[in-house]
Amino acid sequence: MRVICVTGGKGGIGKTTISINLAIAYAKMKKKVLLFDADLSLANVDIRLGLTPNKNINDFLSGNCDLSEVCITGPHGIKVIPSSSGIQKMAELSAAESFELIRSFSSLTDDIDIMIIDMAPGISTQVIELTHASQDILIVVCNDPASLMDSYAIIKILHQKYGRDRFGVLVNKVKNLQEGYDVFTRFQDAIVKFINVSMHYIGHLPQDDYVSIAACEGVSIVDKFPHCEASIAFNHLCHGLNHWHEENSMSGGIQFFFERLIQNRLVPKDKPCIA
C-alpha cells in the first residue's frame, strides 16, 4: 500500500477537494483506495462526498466502536475514515491515541492499494508527525504569497526535524499550464536557496467553476463533470504521482506509516536540527 499525504499548511488552498477527487480518480482506474480525513477536529470529507456516517474517529478513540465500524464506503467503492467536527480534544491527541489509531489501520488495509490523507491546516505536532509518517508528501500551493510561505514552513520543519528531502508539488487554482509552472519555478527557486531538498513538479489544477458546483452538490468533480478541465487535470495528476513514485520507489505500506510515527515519538526532544 502507498500512503500519500496532501498538505500545504494554509487552509483554503483546496486540500480536501484534491484528496477527494484524487481518491475517486484512482478508484475509477480500478485502484482500491482508503481516504482518511486527518483534520480530526474540523472534518468535512464526509460532507463533501454526501455521506452520513453514524460514527467517527472520536467514537473509536473513546472505545465505543472498532475502526471498521467507523470506516464507510463511498463512491466507486472507496473506503472513507471520517473524523469529527467541533471536538477540540481531537486536535490534541496523545501519543497513545495516535499509536492506537494508526495501528488499527492495519485491520482495514489488507486489500488497499492507495491511502490518501487529507491533512489538517497548520504546523501542529500532530500535523507534522502524520505528514512525516507518509511515504509521499504532496505539497499544495496557490499563486498567493501566504500559501507559498506556509508551504515553505511545512517543508522547512519536515527537513530540519526529520531530514525529509523529497517533495511533490501541485499548483492549484491557476489559469493555465504556464502559470502553474511559473508558480512552481518561483517556489522551487526560493526553497533551494535555503533548504537542500528535491522538489518534483507533479502538475497543476485549473481554476474551474465546476469545482465549486460539484462541492455544493456533495459529489466529486471527476464524477459530476468528467470532461471538464479540472477532471482531466485530476487524471493527469494520478499519472504524474505514479511516475514520481516509480522514479523514487520507497518500501512502505501501513507498517511504514506506523513505524514513522513511532520514530517521531522516540526522537529526543533535545536532538539538534539538521542544517
Q: How many CA atoms lie within 13 A of 122 on its CB side?
A: 14
- pLDDT value, residue 248: 63
Nearest to 49 by CA among 71, 17, 27: 17
Could you give the CA distance from residue 122 to residue 273 in angstroms, rounded to a whole number? 20
- pLDDT value, residue 88: 63
Cβ neighbours for 269, distance < 8 A, ≥ 6 positions apart: none
Could you give the CA distance from residue 204 to residue 180 in angstroms, rounded to a whole number? 5
- pLDDT value, residue 89: 66
Could you give the CA distance from residue 118 to residue 130 in angstroms, rounded to a whole number? 10
- Which single residue is written with the C-alpha cell 500519500? 4
Cell numbers standing for residue 173: 487554482
Ranges under pLDDT 70 in the chain: 41, 85-91, 109-110, 248-275
Cell numbers standing for residue 117: 490523507
State pLDDT tens for residues 32-49.
999 999 887 677 898 899
Distances (CA, A) of 56 to 48, 67, 81, 145: 15, 9, 7, 35
pTM: 0.86
Using DSSP, state whether 271 is helix, strand or coil: coil
Nearest to 34 by CA among 103, 117, 145: 117
Could you give the CA distance from residue 266 to residue 59 in angstroms, rounded to a whole number? 27
Share of the chain above pLDDT 70, in %: 85
Cell numbers standing for residue 147: 500559501
Neighbouring CB atoms inside 10 A of 194's CB total: 11
Using DSSP, state whether 35 is helix, strand or coil: strand
Kindly state the DSSP code that residue 273 receives in the 8-state scheme: P
Cβ burial of 236 (10 Å; 0-12, 13-18, 19+) is middle
Using DSSP, state whether 71 is helix, strand or coil: coil
Neighbouring CB atoms inside 10 A of 27's CB total: 23
